[in-house]
């Protein structure tokens, strides 16, 4: 006859192991959430179309007429 933690056929051990795995996973996710280790926070903000247009005009890729035309189109 067995006594102690194994008396229930090992179910107590299985539930205890599942509990600790879940507890450790919760702590890991909590720490990652609080420290900001996520992809969305490390990505550079996307440039708007108007910002790209301004950069192209400043670098000389497009002339003033083309800049003004495209700028009007984007603002409309």
What's the confidence (pLDDT) of residue 43? 64
CA atoms of 67 and 56, how far apart (whole Å): 9
Tell me: do 13 and 33 sit in the same domain.
Answer: yes
pTM of the predicted protein model: 0.42
3-state secondary structure of 32: helix
Residue 13 CA to residue 74 CA, distance in Å, equals 64
38 and 50 inside one domain = no
Domain that holds residue 24: 1-43
Rounded to 5°, angle at Cα 23 from 2 and 3:
5
Task: Give rounded-to-5 percent helix, strand, coil for the chain.
Answer: 75, 0, 25
**53 and 24 housed in the same domain:** no
User: For 19-76, what is each residue's pLDDT tens digit?
Assistant: 999 999 999 999 888 887 555 556 677 889 999 999 999 999 999 999 999 999 988 7
DSSP state of 43: S
Identify the pLDDT of residue 8.
60
How many domains is the chain partitioned into structurally? 2
Higher pLDDT: 1 or 45? It is: 45
Q: Are residues 4 and 18 in the same domain?
A: yes
């Amino acid at each position: 006859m067995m006594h102690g933690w194994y008396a229930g056929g090992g179910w107590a051990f299985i539930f205890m192991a599942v509990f600790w795995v879940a507890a450790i996973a919760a702590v890991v996710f909590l720490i990652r959430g609080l420290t900001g280790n996520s992809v969305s926070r490390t990505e550079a903000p996307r440039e708007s179309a108007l910002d790209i247009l301004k950069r192209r005009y400043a670098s000389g890729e497009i002339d003033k007429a083309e800049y003004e035309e495209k700028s009007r189109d984007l603002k409309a």
